[in-house]
Structure 1
């Protein structure tokens, strides 16, 4: 039976075969294979020359030792001749040395190195030399030792042994010469192979690398010359083949891009011009909205600029009254009066403008077609007045939708997405500007209300109390006149005069407070003037101590004014209520700003004051001003022990005028006496 592989196994085998084929075709694989082949050949040649050199070195040592056989055999003959004249072991030593030399030649010594060549003839000759010594000369040398030595037999046999040794040396020299020739031939072959291999490697590298690179370089040069129809031949499946395919794809894409490049450039240029025009519009609109101070003038100028920018035939700006569900016309241009004041456009949920407050953008290209597609009924006010297109955009701020502005066109007009986005942005700018106007008006109203509250508090704490006192004295005077009580009348009249003078002083003091204006660094002279005026108004002794040795930044003008008001209020309370003999004012500006006003008057009970705080508005005014500063106001009082008022403005709460730092007066510590 035949056995077939499943489809998955076949696909896997094909994939592995394709992977191996791609691996073989890679340039890196070919370069590595070529390098390894050259390396193996060179290493083989070097190993052969090293082996031949090693053999030659061993053969040279063998020649030396074989040549020494003749010398040692002759020494043995000499020692045999002299053996009768002396009694020593020199002959035995020579015999042993010759035995050792023969044994070394037979065995060899790889460490020196020393060994005979591998030729059989040389080993046979070595055997004959060894047998000649062992069988003929050595017995004669050993037998000839002692008193009856006869070296004649040894000397007669010596020439034959020497001849055999010379023949052995000659054979070894001949073999060494042959190996030397082989060594020279291998070195010449290695040099030739190096030259041929170098040329071959250079040629292959030229075919594999340099030539494809030159083709790519020429292709890039021609591509730079806008020859986009150029295609490189793909002659291999290696990396350069992949590069050539990529180059051809790039050339095709560039050719396609170049054909419609002018169109794209024109489109990009038009888009850039539109963006520049939009930026100019935004800049001009932002500058105008920042300068306009009136809502109607702002809406009118906004509408004129938008209509001019988008060639609209009419336009309107309406603000949303969410409480009553209506839209009030703020500005209109190019619209008939009947359309601008149309009641059907005033409802917040009516017509297309009302829809824009909920949907952000309502753009209708053809009002008549939209009317035909919608429910049956009367035409819209815009279509009745000859307008065929409408675009309405929501005016919004952080509070949400605050109104809507609309552009009317007498011809069908479609706004592209960029123009819609631009108009939405302009609507947000207008909404922000209108919200800014509203907040500015609210802030001004709050400032007026706050200032009126302070004026009312000042009047209530000073003039109102004085008038109440005068009213009471007038009633007493009226009763005394009715009784014809002249004595009581005489007592009341001076009190009335004193009350009128006190009220007059209060009025002057209030007017002075309301007119006070301070610049940076003017707190010190203002404090000195306030304390001096206090000294002139009453008999209470006052001292002033100012310590500016801390070198801190001066307070801002608004902060200085609040501090001055608190000081004036405190001194006014001392003058009116304390009945004090002495009051001390201390002002220091180190790390923290500190103002202390302390008198030795009658004082008061804080618990009692807390139960009727409405009658002591002066303290409340000081606390409100301290809160506005972000400062702390401490009031310490006991009946009969005076009052101590301390104002502390911590470091970091003061916003000094740093631009005047170089012109600040030098820190000084002063104390003035009345």
Structure 2
């Protein structure tokens, strides 16, 4: 048996071409083919040996039956002699049946019987001896028996005289069969011994072959993996067969070669990946720092200066600038600059976008010098700078400017730095655009509030002043005519008009100073109703339903709702001449404000044609539109007025709608009850 690990098993100088290709072995070289072939051969040998022993056993069994029948020939022959003696003595006898039995025994020995089994050995001398015994019986013994039975009394029996020779021939047949049977018995024993020997040798051979084919290659691969785990990458296994283990050895050698090649540059690649990861972390840190800075509220100049300072510190730039683009004409004006000579700042404070190479970034997105490989070269920088990079600042509405970095020594930005700077330029553009939109939103808010102030002045104080102007003209005319009675009648009207204008001014000032935080609407409504009670004799009542459990509105929305309530109560005080007014504030998924009085009312159908002449109604509609709310005004002459404001917070359920309709029906009843009580 060979050694488990021969010296050649780990040849580190194996032919590389032997491991260049890994493929499946051919059918006749496969390990499975060899194992199946060995199993089939072993099975065939065992089956042959077993078949031989079975054949011998069957022959021995048939020969044993033949010995018994051959021995019975002697018994039947002697029985015939006995029956002849009885017949000569005139005693009962069975001679004929005895002769018939002997005939049948000889015939059965001749033809054999496979069922018993019974057959003579396939030996010619045995069959010849059987023929001699059969002829002796048929030609001599049987006729003698028939002759003796008919012979006179006292005559010697010829059959008995010839019986000894016949029995001797039968005995010879039995001995010949027994000799052949003994020979086959010895052969059977030899076959069994040979089968045992073959089984032992076959087992040893199978174990040895399986060791050579399977166990030894597995041990070789196992040791190779152990040495490979110890980083012995120069290890190569010999490919000594073309079976599956040969394929595994070839694959192992190929893997070892690739691992050896990979391990050679592993440290360099690890250092490269570590440096790349550190660079990416710096980029992410820079991106996060600048993005956080740009999200802070700052003026445009401070925003650009902080952005430029951080970019220069990150890339070790010696100078930089941020320039904005004018729409008409297309000029660049410098917003901030760092590290640039004063002469250059003065010269390029405002210039055309196409007058310098930095301005080309507004059209080409990125301009650098020295140029990266495969790019168009740019002319050298002036003012002592050997390199620069300019990046375009984009916004959703277009290009708004660019920023540039200047370097004393020539420097080419890598792809990562270029991508980082492009991303930061987009962040700066978004921040500047957000600042512009915020300023525009503040301007629009101021304009809208001024519009509301103008409408309030027009609908209240302007009408009062117009009324005073008309009364002043009438007073001047009455004085010129000397009509003292008319003067006495006009002066109280003037005083009343001045008082109403003064009250309007105080009410407008109070509305303008009103400020709410989240959750103060209920208290503000109570204060507004209480102030209304102090200003006029109209009885007012405030009812709050489900407001404490409702989702509060934002402060600006609450303020608009309060303004609508103030306008509605102001209209009741000025125009309704009501005795009672009910204010209901209902919370829920929708906020609902209802102001209902029992005053004179007005024609709602004609309101559309003269709505701008009505005090506060136009302002209330604008405030409702700002809230995306529903404002309804229901009125009829002599039946009072109902103002309802619904601010949507979610979809109104069916139960809420029914409750709303029921509350509207009850409001009129409550107003009537208040009138009756007063």
TM-score normalised per structure 1: 0.75
SS of 1:535's partner is helix
CA deviation vs aligned residue, 1:596-638 (integer Å, no higher than 9, x gap): 3333333333332222333347333333333333332233333
The whole-number CA distance in structure 2 between the counterparts of 1:567 and 1:65 is 138
- The CA distance in 1 between the partners of 2:473 and 2:426, in whole Å, is 66
Deviation of the 1:391 alpha carbon: 1.3
State the match for 1:569 in structure 2: 567
| Structure 1 gaps, min length 5 | 1-18, 145-151, 655-668
Q: Which residue number corresponds to residue 517 of structure 1?
A: 515
- Of 263-272 and 404-413, the range deviating more from structure 2: 263-272
- Pair 1:276-2:274 in alignment: no
1:271 to 1:65, Cα distance in 2 relative to 1, 3 A: farther
Greater shift in the superposed pair: 175-184 or 333-342: 175-184
Q: How does 1:375-390 map to 2 (within 5 A)?
A: 382-383=381-382, 385-390=383-388
Whether 2:401 is the aligned partner of 1:396: answer: no
Does residue 119 in structure 1 map to residue 117 in structure 2? no
Please show how residues 302-317 of structure 1 align to structure 2 within 5 Å: 302-317=307-322
CA shift, 1:421, in A, is: 1.8
Instruction: Specify the SS of the correspondent of 1:606.
Output: coil
Contact (CA 8 Å) 1:579, 1:601: kept in 2 or not?
A: yes
**Residues 1:193 and 2:195 are matched in the alignment:** no
Distance in 2 between residues matched to 1:615 and 1:100, nearest whole Å: 151
Q: Is the 8 A contact 1:457 1:617 kept in 2?
A: no
Further displaced range: 266-275 or 320-329: 266-275
Alignment partner of 1:289 out of 276, 291, 294: 294
Aligned twin of 1:337: 342
Question: 1:223-272: per-residue Cα shift (whole Å, max 9, x none)?
Answer: 33333333222222333333333333333333333333333333223222
**2:261 matched to 1:253?**
no
* 8 A Cα contact 1:312 1:407, kept in partner: yes
Work out the CA distance in 2 between the residues paired with 1:73 and 1:553.
132
Alignment partner for residue 211 of structure 1, among 191, 213, 216? 216
Displacement, 1:346? Answer: 1.9
The answer for the alignment partner of 1:540 in structure 2 is 538
Distance 1:249 1:418 in 2: 37
> In structure 2, what is the Cα distance between the partners aligned to 1:479 and 1:68?
181
Q: Secondary structure at the match of 1:520?
A: coil
Task: Give me the whole-angstrom Cα distance separating, in 1, the residues matched to 2:33 and 2:549.
Answer: 81
8 A Cα contact 2:25 2:244, kept in partner: no
More deviation, 278-287/503-512: 503-512
* Paired position in structure 2 for 1:326: 331
Counterparts of 2:493 and 2:121, CA distance in 1: 155
Call closer, same or farther: CA 1:206–1:623 in 2, change over 3 Å. farther
Query: What is the deviation of 1:352?
Result: 0.9
Deviation at 1:273, TM superposition (A): 2.4
8 Å CA contact retained: 2:318, 2:406: yes
Q: Secondary structure at 1:648's aligned position in 2?
A: strand
Could you tell me whether the CA contact under 8 Å between 1:633 and 1:648 is conserved in 2? yes
Q: Which of 271, 296, 306 is the matching residue for 1:301?
A: 306
Displacement of 1:347 after TM fit?
Answer: 0.9
CA deviations on 1:122-142 (whole Å, 9 max, x unpaired) are 8788899999999999xx99x
Relative to 1, partners in 2 of residues 1:109 and 1:392: Cα closer, same or farther, differing over 3 Å? Answer: same
Alpha-carbon distance, 1:518 to partner: 3.1
Q: Does 1:35 align with 2:43?
A: no
Count of residues paired in the alignment? 620
1:346 and 2:346 aligned: no
Gaps of 5+ in 2: 1-22, 150-156, 653-665
Q: Deviations over 1:640-662 (max 9, x none)?
A: 333333333345379xxxxxxxx
The RMSD of aligned alpha carbons is 4.9
Deviation at 1:573, TM superposition (A): 2.3
Cα distance, 1:205 vs. partner?
Answer: 2.6
Q: Specify whether residues 42 and 449 from structure 1 end up closer, same or farther in structure 2 by C-alpha distance, changes over 3 A only.
A: farther
Larger radius of gyration: 2
Question: Is contact 1:107–1:115 with CA below 8 Å preserved after alignment?
Answer: yes
The 1:78/1:396 distance shift into structure 2, 3 A limit, reads: farther
> Residue 119 of structure 1 aligns to a residue in which SS?
coil
Cα distance between partner residues in 1 of 2:605 and 2:106 = 135
- Deviation of the 1:319 alpha carbon: 1.0
Checking the alignment, whether the CA contact within 8 Å between 2:24 and 2:247 is kept in structure 1 is no
In structure 2, distance between residues paired with 1:475 and 1:427: 67
Task: Tell me the TM-score normalized by structure 2.
Answer: 0.75
CA-to-aligned-CA distance 1:1-60 (integer Å, 9 cap, x gap): xxxxxxxxxxxxxxxxxx998332233333333334334444544555566666677778
Q: Distance in 1 between matches of 2:406 and 2:212?
A: 74
Tell me how far apart the structure 2 counterparts of residues 512 and 161 of structure 1 sit (CA, whole Å).
161
**1:308, distance to aligned residue in structure 2 (A):** 2.3
Q: Is the 1:329–1:341 contact (alpha carbons within 8 Å) kept by the matching residues of 2?
A: no
SS of structure 1 residue aligned to 2:392: strand
Match of 1:407 among 405, 408, 418: 405
Between 1:568-577 and 1:400-409, the stretch displaced more is 568-577
CA distance in 2, matches of 1:164, 1:574: 159
